[in-house]
Amino acid sequence: MEEYLDKKLEQYGNSDYYPFHMPGHKRRNLPFPNPYKIDITEIEGFDNLHHSNDILAEAQKRAAKLYGSKKTYYLVNGSTCGILSAISAAVKKGDRILIARNSHQSVYHAAYLNALFMVYLNPTVAFQGIQGSIHPEDVDAALKEYPDIKAVVITSPTYDGIVSDIAEIGNIVHKKGIPLIVDEAHGAHFGFSEYFPQTSVRLGADVVIQSLHKQFPCFTQTALLHLNSDLIKEKEIEKYLRIYETSSPSYILMASMEQCIRFVGEKKEQLFSEYEKKLDNFYQCAEKLHNIKILQEQDFSEKEIFGKDPSKLIISVKNTNICSRDLYESLLSKYHLQMEMESGFYVLGMTSIMDEDNGFLRLFNALEDIDKCLFYKKDINTANLIKEIYRLKKKEMEFFTAMDKDTVCVSFEEAVGKISGTTVFLYPPGIPVLLPGEVISKDFIINLRECIKLGQNLCGIADIINEKIDVIRF
Ligand SMILES: Cc1ncc(COP(=O)(O)O)c(C=O)c1O
């Protein structure tokens, strides 16, 4: 029988599957107009997002006030278009840029489009192979080694909720008179309560990009770009938003943003105090588990992480007889709990101010049930493998040059010593382990095979089963 997306979604929306994933509205109804009644174009009286001076300008001012930024832009193409625009506005074509290696693909795409020479900051690989924070001293060292760097881009928080010391990194970057761009796509809920980390907007970053749809009750694709200094010009940001953002911004999405900002602004004390109680209660209950462990800030060393967002539930099955895939599948099939992702030895649950007591209770009951059947089994040291696979590769060609080269698909053996023509990344979290232009070493192939054997979800390899990968054709 033929399946239709709209019908399938409607059916799913009415099912008992509980979302521990984005979007942050958690499929709960907020009072919202019928989408057909409000889906318009730039008609009289409704302003134009790309040249706003009326109702949309006011809406964006309200968002700026809520977050304390100098100027805020609504984005309807997700954080992706904000990151592309911010980087493009901060540099000139052919400049050098300092980026965290664990950047989202949009950062790499901006580097490609602007032919940027990239210098990398490596996050520490923390407990269980989770990517840790970026150290301020590494930023300082890189800026000293490459005095021509024109901008710095950091992801904080990461997909797993790990934050870096943005205030200190900002001080270092600003001594050079260049801007700090923070990808805070996963941190739109920061800065409203001390329970969560502070937002980079208030920590001195020049541009901060946040996805509203990830953590807040807002439709998918909604995001904000906060411009907070004069180091990047408004005119430049606006020029690139016109390039990277649709010329037909959806009024449904913009209405959702307006509603979300108003909802959070008016109810933040109540919303966050209830949210904190639910999270505290969940973490407390989880201490009763014997084999499964929910990782918290105190489980990492200060060297590994600067801080952690408690809204991200890192559910670890390390040193048990199951792997994260088993836990993920069991939660889904038996308990109808859809998690955000599984990676190596943990499953990630995304929570938001919209989560209900019942959702947390269902998750805890399911974990308690599963936990009873587990036993201790020492794991191989995957943290080391992850560290090795992420180790920086020798760069033979700039990313932007390599991206435009013809490639040829060869066996893993033949690929050794050749230049990669593909981006290989572990998904989630989507961080590259190999980029076009980097040399494929024998060790890399050994580690790649090990990751495949462990069932890690590797993307960007032409044929995993027959061990084929794209290299640059000479
Ligand atoms: C760290 C990070 N930055 C940026 C993005 C892009 O956000 P969006 O999907 O809103 O375009 C994502 C998406 O998952 C992300 O994880």
Residues with CB under 6 Å of ligand 1 are 78-80, 104, 106, 155, 159, 183, 185-186, 211, 223
- Residue 441 Cα to ligand 1 midpoint, Å, equals 30
Q: Is a pLDDT exceeding 80 seen at residue 128? A: no
Buried b (16+ CB within 10 A) or exposed e, 262-280: ebbeeebeebbeebbebbe
The residue whose CA has the least distance to atom 10 of ligand 1 is: 78
Domain boundary among 212, 235, 261: 261
Domain containing 390 — which CATH number? 3.90.100.10
pTM over cut 0.75: yes
Owner of token pair 């760069």: 395
Name the domain count of the chain: 3
pLDDT at 356: 97
Q: Does residue 392 carry a pLDDT above 90?
A: no
Residue 19 domain-assigned (yes or no): no
Verify that 63 and 101 share a domain, yes or no: yes
Query: In this structure, which residue's CA is closest to atom 16 in ligand 1?
Result: 159
> For ligand 1, atom 1, which residue shows the shortest CA distance?
104
Q: What are phi and psi of 152, to 5 degrees?
A: -125, 135
> Is 388 among the domain residues?
yes
Q: What is the CATH number of the domain that holds 240?
A: 3.40.640.10
Do residue 141 and residue 231 come from a single domain? yes
Give me the mean pLDDT over the 33-58 stretch. Answer: 98
In angstroms, what is the span from residue 219 Cα to ligand 1's centroid? Answer: 14
Instruction: Kindly report the protein residue whose alpha carbon is nearest to atom 7 of ligand 1.
Output: 79
CA dist list (Å): 393 to 144, 418, 436 = 21, 12, 11
Check residues 314 and 29 and name the one with the higher pLDDT. 314
Q: What is the mean pLDDT of the chain?
A: 96
Q: Do 85 and 121 share a domain, yes or no?
A: yes
CA of 91 to the centre of ligand 1 (A): 21
Residues 272 and 419 in one domain: no
Decide if pLDDT at 37 tops 80. Answer: yes
Test site for ligand 1: of 77, 83, 186, most ligand atoms within 8 A of the Cβ: 186
Q: What is the pLDDT of residue 217?
A: 97
* Residue 237 shares a structural domain with residue 105: yes
Residues 236 and 205 in one domain: yes
Start-end of H helices in 146-297? 166-175, 212-215, 234-244, 251-286
Distance CA 85, CA 160 (A): 25
CA 258–ligand 1 middle distance (angstroms): 21
Range of the domain at 62: 35-261
C-alpha distance from residue 231 to each of 86, 150, 173, 204 (Å): 11, 11, 11, 12
Whole-number pLDDT of residue 86: 98
pLDDT at position 430 is 76
- 80 Cα: distance to centroid of ligand 1 (angstroms): 6
* Residue 194 shares a structural domain with residue 95: yes
Residue 287 and residue 87 in contact, taking contact as beta carbons nearer than 8 Å: no
| 342 and 391 share one domain | no
Assess if residue 219 is contained within a domain.
yes
Is 428 a residue whose pLDDT tops 90? Answer: no
Poorest-pLDDT segment among 123-132, 189-198, 300-309, 457-466: 123-132
Flag whether 30 is in a domain: no
87 C-alpha vs ligand 1 centroid, how far in Å? 15
pLDDT at 343: 83
Confidence of residue 344 (pLDDT cuts 50, 70, 90): confident
Of 347, 372, 397, the last residue of a domain is: 372
Q: What percent of the chain has pLDDT over 70?
A: 100
Average pLDDT (221-245) is: 98
